[in-house]
Amino acid sequence: MATDKLRAWWAHRQGLDGTLHGSSAAAVLERTGWMRSVGGSAPYLGLFARARLDRETVDADVARLAIHELPSARGCTYLLPSADFELGLTVGAAAPAGELAAAEKYLGVTQAEIEQLCIVVADLLDGEPLAPTAIKDAAGSAVRNLGEAGRKRGTTTTLPLALGLLQARGDIRRVPVNGRLDQQRYGYVRWTPSPRGGLSDMDTARTELAKRYFSWAAPASLKHFRWFSGFTAASAKKIAEQLTLVPLDGTDLLMPKEIADEFAAFTVPSQPSYALLAGIDGIHLLHREMRRLLADADVERPVPGGRVGETLGGQADPPSHVIVDRGRIAGLWEFDTETGKIVHKFFGDEDAALRETIARTEEFVRDQLGDARSFSLDSPKSRASRVADLRLSPR
């Protein structure tokens, strides 16, 4: 189990102690890591908690490509700073390549067919961003329907295969239709100049990813790194051996040698430092080991509205958004759109600082976001039971 010092250190490295107030979105992402984006409010909540950035500022940074959503680690979409665009695309390139290989094997698709479609699609995207339906219509017969077999495999036409390859190559980029990160409606446009170019060596890219990961997440284990990167055990071990990592005594956790002295001198702040974050925030998702962020007394705490015997410590991910205090998950919360209020359950006695943090976040969500969705399909209706469970759950 993690100690209070480890939890507080992770929160410090994540900028959840106020040290990043006033920083730009790109600076926050470079320091704390890429933020998972699944059409929900996580990036906005994370940047607000760390740097007090409002939605308008974040959206402007997206529009001018200071930051951008890109398929990267494990082929999943993250919000990245411009300095990492090439790296993210390079390490994420295996996913669309794998999808094409599967389509070749099971759906009768050929590499030549998709490459030709890539040329057609790229030529269509020289102007304003086009939605996938508009691209399909404009491409005409170059897009082939893959029939019932494709429907069963979740690839109904050849267009997603081409779009995936073009994104990974940095030839096109996906643009949110309304400029917002928390609504999954996108168009595609040609990316000129492309961010891909110098980092073609996958081994170099994997090592660079490892350097960044252990800067963001250390102390972390090779298992944690494998979860984030999607690399095999052998690859993760080989890559880690190229870095100057030192073990944390008595654990399987590793950290860069250059921050080991800083960690040794670090002490847990005496005063609470609260943050209201999405359940997929990096404080959790960089390691995806929820128990390490729970105090011993909370490991066996029942999940609000969960099945009999279901505990927080037994979850892979938080059941709701989280209240964090010095790295410890100290509560859960949701936003109720009917009342415009945050509904929460705190695992202890509430103080003025917590109430102030909740009020500040509540105002941000209500006035700038309108909602705090966990993911693209989350809605006030779908989360009604979670809101009710938090209201009814005993303190």
Exposure of 341 by Cβ count < 10 A (0-12 exposed, 13-18 middle, 19+ buried)?
middle
Q: Tell me, what's the pLDDT at 197?
A: 77
What residues pair up with 71 in beta bridges, in sequence order? 77
Q: Contact, 169 vs 194, CB < 8 A?
A: yes
Domain-located, residue 251: no
Domain-located, residue 55: no
For 214-251, what is each residue's pLDDT tens digit? 999 999 999 999 999 999 999 999 999 999 999 999 99
Both tokens of residue 186? Answer: 């996108």
Q: Contact, 368 vs 54, CB < 8 A?
A: yes
Mean pLDDT along residues 270-290: 97
Q: pLDDT class for 199, splitting at 50, 70, 90?
A: low
Q: Give the orientation angle of helix 159-168 with respect to helix 111-124, to 10 degrees.
A: 70
Residue 296, pLDDT above cutoff 70: yes
Other CB atoms within 10 A of residue 142 CB: 18
Q: pLDDT class for 202, splitting at 50, 70, 90?
A: confident
Q: Tell me, what's the pLDDT at 286?
A: 97
**CB within 8 A of 116, min separation 6: which ones?**
142
Q: Tell me, what's the pLDDT at 93?
A: 93
Residue 200, pLDDT above cutoff 90: no
Other CB atoms within 10 A of residue 99 CB: 19
**CB within 8 A of 126, min separation 6: which ones?**
190
Domain-located, residue 20: no
For 90-126, what is each residue's pLDDT tens digit? 999 999 999 999 999 999 999 999 999 999 999 999 9
Domain boundary among 141, 168, 195: 168
Q: Contact, 210 vs 255, CB < 8 A?
A: no
Q: Contact, 53 vs 12, CB < 8 A?
A: no
For 44-73, what is each residue's pLDDT tens digit? 999 999 999 999 999 999 999 999 999 999
Mean pLDDT along residues 274-295: 97
Domain-located, residue 367: yes
| Counted domains in the chain | 2
Residue 395, pLDDT above cutoff 70: no
Residue 392, pLDDT above cutoff 90: no
Domain-located, residue 45: no
Q: Tell me, what's the pLDDT at 394?
A: 66
Q: Contact, 24 vs 66, CB < 8 A?
A: yes
Q: pLDDT class for 201, splitting at 50, 70, 90?
A: confident
Exposure of 271 by Cβ count < 10 A (0-12 exposed, 13-18 middle, 19+ buried)?
exposed
The whole-angstrom separation of Cα 71 and Cα 147 is 27
Exposure of 215 by Cβ count < 10 A (0-12 exposed, 13-18 middle, 19+ buried)?
middle
Both tokens of residue 157? Answer: 């036409």
Report the greatest alpha carbon distance in the chain: 66
Domain-located, residue 353: yes
Residue numbers of the domain that contains 130: 94-168
For 331-365, what is each residue's pLDDT tens digit? 999 999 999 999 999 999 999 999 999 999 999 99
Domain-located, residue 27: no
Domain boundary among 124, 153, 168: 168
Domain boundary among 125, 150, 168: 168
Residue 134, pLDDT above cutoff 60: yes
Q: Contact, 216 vs 32, CB < 8 A?
A: yes
The whole-angstrom separation of Cα 392 and Cα 286 is 31
Q: Which of 321, 297, 299 is nearest to 374 (CA)?
A: 321
Phi, psi of 221 (to 5 degrees): -95, 170
Domain-located, residue 214: no
The whole-angstrom separation of Cα 197 and Cα 87 is 10
For 73-92, what is each residue's pLDDT tens digit? 999 999 999 999 999 999 99
Q: Contact, 329 vs 293, CB < 8 A?
A: yes
Mean of pLDDT over the chain: 95
Q: Which of 2, 52, 15, 40 is nearest to 280 (CA)?
A: 40
**CB within 8 A of 203, min separation 6: which ones?**
none
